[in-house]
Copies of this chain bind each other. A is one copy, B any other.
Amino acid sequence: MQKKPRNPDNFEIELDAQLCFAIYGAAHAFTRTYKPLLEPLGLTYPQYLVMIALWEEDDQPVKAIGDRLGLDSGTLSPLLKRLEQSGLVARKRDRDDERQVRISLTAKGGELRHQATGVAQAIGKAVGCSFDEAVTLRDELIALKQRLIKAGE
């Protein structure tokens, strides 16, 4: 894969686009790998992320979950309603600040954590690289994300 100078009359995908495309593809590959593992739990991948956030710390406001996952209320409101309908979480207004809706795990939602342990193991196997490699890649991606966010002010 050689790098040629940009030539508007002889277009090639630039490295930046290749990198972006590689991330795009890897992200989709991840969600596709998670899908069959999460299906028995009745969760989609973004719902699983929300459950992880709640397993780490129960009874959080929507805003806190959104900050953690980088999602806004337009995404979370319907998603949380579906989790509520599945009987995994409860939604109640904070008494001290009635603007906030606090999300808490139901007994069923808390127990799902045990069924989910197999998921991480299966993913670890599918990732198929060493611990150190995974750490490095994770940190590079986090750094890249930070630079992109910073570049966008």
Contacts and interface: CB of A to CB of B under 8 A. Distances in A.
Given A21-B49, A144-B137, A16 B70 contact: no
Contacts of A152: 32-33, 36, 126
A64 interface: no
A117 B33 contact: no
B29 A148 contact: yes
A17 B119 CA distance: 10
B56 A11 contact: yes
Contact of A17 (B20, B52, B128, B129): B52
Most buried by B among A11, A49, A148: A148
Given A55-B11, A70-B25, A138 B19 contact: yes
Interface string A67-92: 00010000000000000000000000
B141 A13 contact: no
Contacts of A120: 6, 14, 16-17
Given A8-B114, A17-B120, 14 more contacts: A1-B135, A6-B120, A11-B55, A16-B134, A20-B34, A22-B138, A22-B141, A23-B141, A24-B49, A26-B148, A32-B148, A33-B152, A128-B147, A128-B150
Interface of A: 1, 3, 6, 8, 11-30, 32-34, 36, 49, 52, 55-56, 70, 113-114, 117, 120-121, 123-129, 131, 133-135, 137-138, 140-142, 144-145, 147-152
Q: Shortest 3 CB-CB distances between A and B: which pairs?
A: A126-B151, A27-B27, A22-B141
